[in-house]
Amino acid sequence: MSRLNERFKKLYKIGLVITFAIFLFFLFYDIHNLDSDGKRYLSEHYISEGVQETGATNLVASVLYDYRAFDTLGEATVILTAATILAFLVPITKATMFGTTFKSIVNQTITLIIPFLAVLGAYLLLFGHLSPGGGFVGGVVLSVIPILLTITYSVDFSEYIFKPAQKKLVENIGAIGFVLLGLLGVFTGSNFLASGQAPFGTGSAGEVFSAGLIPYLNLMIGLKVGAGLAIIFNSLIKEK
């Protein structure tokens, strides 16, 4: 029996190496032949036709919120699920303070930084279809504000400024608003989450109110990600 075990272990290692080698072979084969055959027709279509079809000058936003918007819905649902489960699992107890207390220079600097962070986050949210950025990054920048408040002052102060019920409400508005905006495409006679193909038009590319549904989807995703990350951080920092 032990001899069989030994033999199986050796065969297992050899099989692992061979599987890894085959995997690497296919990987390098595909990477090497990326230019030469017709695998790039989809990306070439996005690059050449993306601005005309969706109206967004940021091609990343046009792929994320128009061509592949359903994947974005899935990613956002992951964050919603994580925030919900963490807020559900972690008991509501008093948070422990940190070992070090900050001097007043740190507190003053934080109060100076926070308005700039709010403006930067709002810019990244609302101009996501024109310039680099988008809902995800803007939401993370906005969620840094309650995280900084939590780190410098305390959990109590952070939850006094941004109440947990308000954060949960904002997250739910983001989650439900994304699906409702997707259903708008169905009601106007097109597919789910259609913005470029939908009959309400894309507007002229480069303006603020253009690109169909993309700015509103950006706003919803940003609200959801920001509130979700703030809830996750404040839930993780609490303990009994």
Among 65, 67, 127, 136, binds other proteins (CB under 8 A): 136
CB 141 within 8 Å of CB 84: no
* 132 counts as binding other proteins under rule CB under 8 A: yes
Lay out the site mask for other proteins across 94-113 (x = CB under 8 A, - = otherwise).
----xx--------------
Q: Which stretch binds other proteins (CB under 8 A): 9-17, 105-113, 141-149, 213-221?
A: 141-149
How far, in Å, CA of 170 to CA of 139, rounded?
12
C-alpha distances (whole Å) from 156 to each of 33, 152, 164, 183, 232 are 57, 11, 11, 39, 15
233 lies in the site for other proteins, by CB under 8 A? yes
Distance in Å, CB of 197 to other proteins, minimum: 24
- What Å distances lie between residue 149 and 14, 115, 183, CA to CA? 54, 13, 37
Cα separation, 35 vs 171, in Å, equals 43
| Contact of 213 with 65, CB cutoff 8 Å | yes
Interface stretch with other proteins, choices 19-27, 84-92, 129-137, 213-221 (CB under 8 A): 129-137
| Residue 157 found at the interface with other proteins (CB under 8 A) | no
Binding mask of the shown chain, residues 36 to 75, with x at each position contacting other proteins by CB under 8 A:
----------------------x-x---------------
Residue 147 in contact with other proteins, rule: CB under 8 A: yes
20: helix, strand or coil: helix
* Count of residues engaged in binding other proteins, rule: CB under 8 A: 20
> Is the Cβ of residue 67 or residue 198 nearer to other proteins in the bound state?
67
What is the C-alpha to C-alpha distance for residues 129 and 121, in angstroms, rounded to an integer? 14
Q: Is 239 in the site for other proteins (CB under 8 A)?
A: yes
- Residues 141, 73: Cα–Cα separation, whole Å: 20
- What residues make contact with other proteins under the rule CB under 8 A? 58, 60, 98-99, 124, 132-134, 136-137, 140-141, 144, 147, 151, 229, 233, 236-237, 239
